[in-house]
Amino acid sequence: MRSTQKILRIVFSASFLLASFTFVSAQSNRSPVAPTPEQFQSTLGNAYEKFKGDTGGKNADYIPYLAHVDSKLFGIAVVTTDGKLYKVGDVEYAFSIQSISKVFTLALAMEELGPDEVLAKIGGEPTGRPFNSIPAVVDMPSHAGNPYVNAGAIATTSLISGADPVAKWAKILAFYSEASGSKLSLIDEVYKSEAATNTGNKAISMLLAKYDRIYANPFESVDVYTKQCSVGVTADQLAVMGATLANNGKNPMTGKQVVKQDNVPHILAEMMMAGLYDGSGQWAWTVGIPAKSGVGGSILAVVPGKGAIAVFAPPLDEAGNSVKAQKVIGYVADKLGINLFAASSVGLK
């Protein structure tokens, strides 16, 4: 009888330890100071109700397709590093990723060349100019500026290896799909609309060539860049892409290591400095989360170790950043205590 009880105690102890290990392993990629699921869902719901009636800003109109997107569309999605998804609103609508693509082409270039070479070839300083500034190409010491303005982004795209533009484009699209955990595709109407109106970017590419700051055929590089901006994503797909960065480069849904862990801090640092163009300083001051905007009406914000929030609402401010998205992310950051410059972000009161 005693031997039987002893065996049962050993089996019970082993089972308990195994269960505990399984629980810890499943939670190991969740920050101990991350908001709870209830906090995430209620805060998103409150933000949606608070800002859904906001009519500030207007759609981008220099790209004809974007001018006609329904300005009332509004969706919010959060994906955490432990693979939880919280969403509200128009999160299934596929919009063009636009300049948020710059983050992931930068990540791909760093995968191929390493961060030091990319920094040397592109630069990393804020320009203090509009994202499509031509004078900045002349005036900036690096000429390309940084990877998140158009000049630097076109130069970054030109760094991607491939036998021809078709191969480069296929590699970029495949990388985006890995980051999102789903098969992404080109919105052909957006691409055609942008390609018909991208003379400014072509001019930038030729200026880059003048200063030896573009690393493939200028017009071919602009075309690949135009395609990357025309990739369609939903808010929840975009949030997964952001959560991949928040999770040390590993997609929290698929478990695939998409971006080298050591490259992630460089990517996020540049987002903080230049992610909202000439509104980046005010964003860092008031919100304090690395973020990148796109003129399609979305903003992606990444909170290292916790997750990412993607907001889609087409009307923009004068700098080219979604008005509603800025307000939503600022509200969520304040309510959940995730401003990276605040002690509350690491659990201190």
The answer to the question of whether 150 is labelled as a binding residue is yes
Q: Compute the distance between CA of residue 204 and CA of residue 154 in angstroms, rounded to an integer.
A: 9
The answer to the question of whether 194 is labelled as a binding residue is yes
Q: Which candidate, 229, 291, 297, places its Cα nearest to that of 56?
A: 297
Q: Which candidate, 109, 110, 147, places its Cα nearest to that of 127?
A: 147
The residue to which tokens 């719901």 are assigned: 45
Helix (H) or strand (E) holding 95: strand 95-96
The answer to the question of whether 205 is labelled as a binding residue is no
Residues whose CB falls within 8 Å of the CB of residue 158, separated by 6 or more in sequence, listed in order:
214, 215, 216, 218, 221
Q: Compute the distance between CA of residue 200 and CA of residue 137 in angstroms, rounded to an integer.
A: 12
Q: Which candidate, 307, 267, 298, places its Cα nearest to that of 73?
A: 298
Q: Compute the distance between CA of residue 10 and CA of residue 326 in angstroms, rounded to an integer.
A: 56
The answer to the question of whether 46 is labelled as a binding residue is no
Helix (H) or strand (E) holding 265: helix 264-274
The answer to the question of whether 198 is labelled as a binding residue is no
User: At 249, is the secondary structure helix, strand, or coil?
Assistant: coil
Amino acid, single-letter form, for residue 216: A
CB 180 within 8 A of CB 233: yes
The answer to the question of whether 225 is labelled as a binding residue is yes
Q: List binding-site positions for substrate.
A: 99, 150, 194, 201, 225, 277, 295
Binding-site residues sit at: 99, 150, 194, 201, 225, 277, 295
